[in-house]
Amino acid sequence: MRTYDFSPLWRSTIGFDRLFDLAEMAHRAGEDNYPPYNIERLAEDRYQISLAVAGFAPSDIAITAEQNVLTIEGGKSEKSDGDFLYRGISTRNFKRQFSIADHVEVRSAAFDNGLLKIELVREIPEAMKPRRIAINGVSADKIQRLEAKAA
């Protein structure tokens, strides 16, 4: 596998540090694949992350959302409930991080049949949405009404 050295770019760019952090995090993410997960688009602005966390209880899992990073951590005590001949269900500690875009917020988390489901919603603030600009004091709505009357 190839490794990339971003240090020359750090010296000659300003304001792209989050992009380089994402690239480094994506490179490191391939190293650990536990627990398995899905990312699903439910609607244009709704997403869901599902993690397979069999063997964990909701009290064993912590979810933290802060400044464009969603972190899910799971940990169980090492006490053994029995004498296993074979243990195929892993309950090792994990820490999974997801980078989330600006204006995406975590709405809810639910635990159902061994799946942890986290719902995310993208809400763009009104100030950032496209808006019509009045020309010479005549609003776009008024122009549309005048055109509708003429038709």
Q: Which CATH class is domain 34-150?
A: mainly beta
pLDDT tens for each residue of 38-94: 999 999 999 999 999 988 999 999 999 998 899 999 998 766 667 888 888 877 899
- Weakest mean pLDDT among 7-16, 26-35, 71-80, 107-116: 7-16
Distance CA 72, CA 60 (A): 11
pLDDT tens for each residue of 104-132: 999 999 999 999 999 999 988 888 778 88
Residue-level pLDDT at 134: 78
Q: Is the dihedral of CA 129, 132, 133, 138 positive or negative?
A: negative
User: Which amino acid, residue 111?
Assistant: F
Start-end ranges of CATH 2.60.40.790 in the chain?
A: 34-150
